[in-house]
Structure 1
Amino acid sequence: MQTYGGRAMKNKMKKNISKILAICAMVMSVTIANQNCVFIYHQEEKPDELRRLRRF
């Protein structure tokens, strides 16, 4: 009889969690790249890597 617990299940969960975190990080980066700060004087310079994620 085969059990579904143990290392295989933990490894699968770790892979799924890391994929979800990567997707969340990408979504947040794209969102931030397309927004401006409401305070004119507080607008920080964005890195070039972040500028290529802009959608406009």
Structure 2
Amino acid sequence: MDAPDQDAALVYVQGELEENHYCLLAILYPNAHQRASDNRTIPYLARLAQAFKDQH
């Protein structure tokens, strides 16, 4: 707590059919948890992830 410079997250998705394919969707830094709690962030990343999974 109180260390936003130590709060980071990589958000990635694995392909559905091609399990060796990955896509890095976002790097949340600093304050990864606060950024992820934004009501627009997770739905947006979920749409990106679904689009990638649909293609891979």
The two structures share one fold, judged by TM-score above 0.5: no
More helix by share: 1
Of Structure 1 and Structure 2, which has the larger fraction of its residues in strand? 2
Instruction: With the length of structure 1 as denominator, give the TM-score of the two structures.
Output: 0.33
- Identify which of structures 1 and 2 has the higher relative contact order when contacts are C-alpha pairs closer than 8 Å and 6+ apart: 2
What's the TM-score, normalizing by structure 2?
0.33
The structure having more radius of gyration, on CA atoms, is: 1
